[in-house]
Amino acid sequence: MSLSLQNRSIGEITVVTCSGRIVEGPESQALQQHLSDLLPLHPYIVLDLDHVDFVDSSGLGLLVRFLGRTHTAHGGLKLCAVPANVAEILRITRLRTIFDVHDSAEEAVAAFYQRTTSGGTSDRLSTDILCVEHSADVLAFVRELLKQAGYGVMTANNLPDALTLLKATQPKVLVIGADLRSARDTSAAATFNDLADTRPVVELRPDFSSRDAGEAGQRFLDQVRAAAGDNKRSVTAAQ
Q: Where are the domains of the chain?
A: 4-114, 129-237
Note whether 155 and 131 are within 8 A (CB): yes
Nearest to 85 by CA among 138, 21, 131: 21
pLDDT number for residue 236 = 53
pLDDT number for residue 216 = 86
The third-level CATH classification (topology) of the domain covering 129-237 is Rossmann fold (3.40.50)
pLDDT number for residue 148 = 86
Region of 79 please: left (phi>0), alpha (psi -120 to 50) or beta.
beta
Domains 4-114 and 129-237 share a fold: no
pLDDT number for residue 123 = 54
pLDDT number for residue 85 = 92
Note whether 100 and 79 are within 8 A (CB): yes
pLDDT number for residue 233 = 42
CATH number of 4-114: 3.30.750.24
pLDDT number for residue 170 = 82
pLDDT number for residue 186 = 93
- The 3-state secondary structure of the chain, one letter per residue: CCCEEEEEEECCEEEEEEEEEECCCHHHHHHHHHHHHHCCCCCEEEEEEEEEEEECHHHHHHHHHHHHHHHHCCCEEEEECCCHHHHHHHHHCCCHHHCEEECCHHHHHHHHHHCECCCCCECCCCCCEEEECCCHHHHHHHHHHHHHCCCCEEEECCHHHHHHHHHHCCCCEEEEEHHHHCCCCCHHHHHHHHHHCCCCEEEECCCHHHCCHHHHHHHHHHHHHHHHCCCCCEEEECC
- pLDDT < 50 regions, the chain: 116-122, 230-235, 238-239
- Sheet harboring 100-102: ordered strands across? 4-10, 13-22, 44-55, 76-80, 100-102
**CA–CA distance, 3 with 21 (Å, rounded to integer):** 6
**CA–CA distance, 100 with 199 (Å, rounded to integer):** 31
pLDDT number for residue 229 = 84
Buried-state track 57-84, b at ≥16 Cβ within 10 A, e below 16: eebbebbeebbebbbebebbbbbbbbee
